[in-house]
Structure formats: structure tokens, C-alpha cells
Amino acid sequence: MKSKLFLSFFASFLLVQAYAQTPTNNPKADQILLSNGWSLSPAGRSLQLGDLPLNMELSPSNKLLAVTNNGQSTQSIQLIDPKSEKILDEKSINRAWYGLAFSADEKKLYVSGANDNIILIYPIINKKLGDADTIKLGKKWPNKISPTGITIDDKAQILYTVTKEDNSLYLIDLKSKKVSSKIELGAEAYDCILSPDQNILYISLWGADEVALLIRKAKK
């Protein structure tokens, strides 16, 4: 009797195991297979992105959504229509890390070039990404800079970017596409964002568990 019960339990266990291995990576499937062999049943709808999407940025009009994929395989930038939930365009990128920012008129997308130590400027034309222009912060790796978060002051034509390798804030003149100033932060930085009145820059210091504030002087 015990052996029959054991065989019945073992057969049920095998069926459960077989069922657990049936999910796929198809975003429309009922279950999604995870890297550890477990599965999830997603709530709502999903859209397939790239490898390790670290950040997404919604444009000022809410009509465009940008995603940066920063994993070990192909790194890429995706442009998405959030209303139709469709990918409009995708560009592979040599290296990227977190930083994304739209211009106020949504004609440009600024992207961190990570250990290439650059900021890429993609023109947006008819909801497609054009060929990128480049702002150089310094020589490539092993020169340690690596920009992370980005924010834009369109009125003043200044791009702010923080870094995780030389622990600094860079101010870039968008008219000349040159670094105008560099401020040491003392710890790895992750992101930066301007206050609504553009007078305070908030900086997330990843390596210090702190938020730093840069207060801009008001013009007389």
C-alpha cells in the first residue's frame, strides 16, 4: 500500500515538474520562464525589451518612451509608442549605462555612452532614431569616467551628467558640445535631476548613500 502511495505521489511530482518547464520567453504566453527555472504568470500586458533594461524615460508630451538596455549581450536603445504599445525603433549601441533624457521639443534623445566616456545625441525624425552625434567627456576606458544619469536645462542649453568612475558632475554646453565645468562629488553618482524651477540639481550619490544638492545662483 505504501509503495503504491509513493508511486502515485512520485508520478504527480513528475507531472508538476514537467508542467513547470513548459513556460517560454514569449511575452504573450500565460507563463514566463525565469533564469532559475521558476515561472511567473504576468499581470496585465507586456512588451519585450532587451537585455537588462536599466532605465526608461517618458518624453515631455508623453508620446514617446525611451528604454536603455545595458546587459552583457547586445546593448541597445529602444523608442516606444506608449499609447499603441509598439516599438518604433531600436539602435544597438557599443556601450550604455542608465542615462536618458529627451530635449524639451522631443527632437533629440541624449544617451549615456558609459565606459566609452561619451554622451550620444540621437535626432528623432518621424518617430525614428537618426545617426547619433557625440559629446566626448574624455578618452575611452581604461580612462575612468563613465557617465550615468543625465538631465537637461533646455533654456540654458546645459546638459548635466554624473559619473560612477571618477565620481564627478559634468556640465556640458550644448551649443559647443564641450565640457564647460567639472565638479568632484566624492562618491559614485547614479542619477541627477533638476527641480521644476531649474535652480536646484539633485544628485543621487550611489557610493555614499546620500543626495547632494547643487544650488544655482540666480541671475541679477
The predicted-structure confidence for 73-108, as pLDDT tens digits, reads as follows 889 999 999 999 999 999 999 999 999 999 999 999
- Are residues 141 and 66 both part of a single domain? yes
- Are residues 57 and 32 both part of a single domain? no
- Are residues 35 and 89 both part of a single domain? no
Task: Look up the domain containing 68 and give its range.
Answer: 47-215
pLDDT of residue 26: 63
- Are residues 97 and 84 both part of a single domain? yes
Question: Is residue 168 a contact partner of residue 183, using CB atoms and an 8 Å limit?
Answer: yes
Dig out the grid coordinates for 199 from the structure.
Answer: 535652480
Q: Tens of pLDDT along 140-155?
A: 999 999 999 999 999 9
pLDDT of residue 7: 46
pLDDT of residue 17: 47
Task: Please report, for the domain that includes residue 196, its CATH number.
Answer: 2.130.10.10
pLDDT of residue 216: 78
- Are residues 112 and 25 both part of a single domain? no
pLDDT lower than 70: segments of the chain: 1-29, 217-220
How many angstroms separate the CA atoms of 163 and 174, rounded? 18
- Are residues 148 and 80 both part of a single domain? yes
Question: Is residue 41 a contact partner of residue 68, using CB atoms and an 8 Å limit?
Answer: no
Question: Is residue 193 a contact partner of residue 151, using CB atoms and an 8 Å limit?
Answer: yes
For residue 39, give the H/E element and its range: strand 39-40
pLDDT of residue 100: 97
pLDDT of residue 218: 57
pLDDT of residue 31: 76
Neighbours of 16 (CB within 10 A): 9
- Are residues 101 and 83 both part of a single domain? yes
* DSSP, residue by residue, 41-79: --SS------SSEEEEEE-TTSS-EEEEE-SSS--EEEE
- Name the residue with cell 539633485: 202
Question: Is residue 66 a contact partner of residue 23, using CB atoms and an 8 Å limit?
Answer: no
pLDDT of residue 27: 58
Asked if residue 220 is part of any domain, the answer here is no
Q: What burial class does residue 146 get, using C-beta atoms within 10 Å of its C-beta: 0-12 exposed, 13-18 middle, 19+ buried?
A: buried
Neighbours of 217 (CB within 10 A): 6
Asked if residue 190 is part of any domain, the answer here is yes
Give the count of domains, the chain: 2
- Are residues 110 and 188 both part of a single domain? yes
- Are residues 24 and 52 both part of a single domain? no
